[in-house]
Amino acid sequence: QVQLVESGGGLVQAGGSLRLLCAASGRTFSIYRMGWFRQAPGKEREFVAAISWSGAPTYYADSVKGRFTISRDNAKNTVYLQMNSLKPEDTAVYYCAVAYRGSYYQDTAYDYWGQGTRVTVSS
């Protein structure tokens, strides 16, 4: 069993930055693939970014490439999502998730999910 707790969300103006954190329980954090997904009101959950167990490679949705950076610290059992140049369309609830195998991009490949942290970007 893995428990995930996200934090770092909030309200920010367009062009601003936020850093999301996801703290994971479990002794074997280092073997997990970690992903960030988001769900905006009235829309389906979508892939944002993912990172392999070693920290590389990383994967990004086209919509966030060049603006968001995913990283992890296995010693702290934490994965981060640095979000820069935020846009109103980035407004969503952001979820982190754990996968052992399968596609990095598909939410069906992820086995455990956090409760989410809300990000609101005002124009």
Q: DSSP 3-state assignment of 26?
A: coil
Residue with tokens 């944002």: 48
Rounded distance, CA 43 to CA 33, Å? 25
Q: In this predicted model, what pLDDT tens digit does every residue of 45-95 receive, in sequence order?
A: 999 999 998 999 999 999 999 999 999 998 898 999 999 999 999 999 999
Q: What is the pLDDT of residues 89-114, one digit of tens each?
A: 999 999 999 998 889 999 999 999 99
User: Is the Cβ–Cβ distance between 74 and 29 less than 8 Å?
Assistant: yes
Residue with the two structure tokens 């479990």? 26
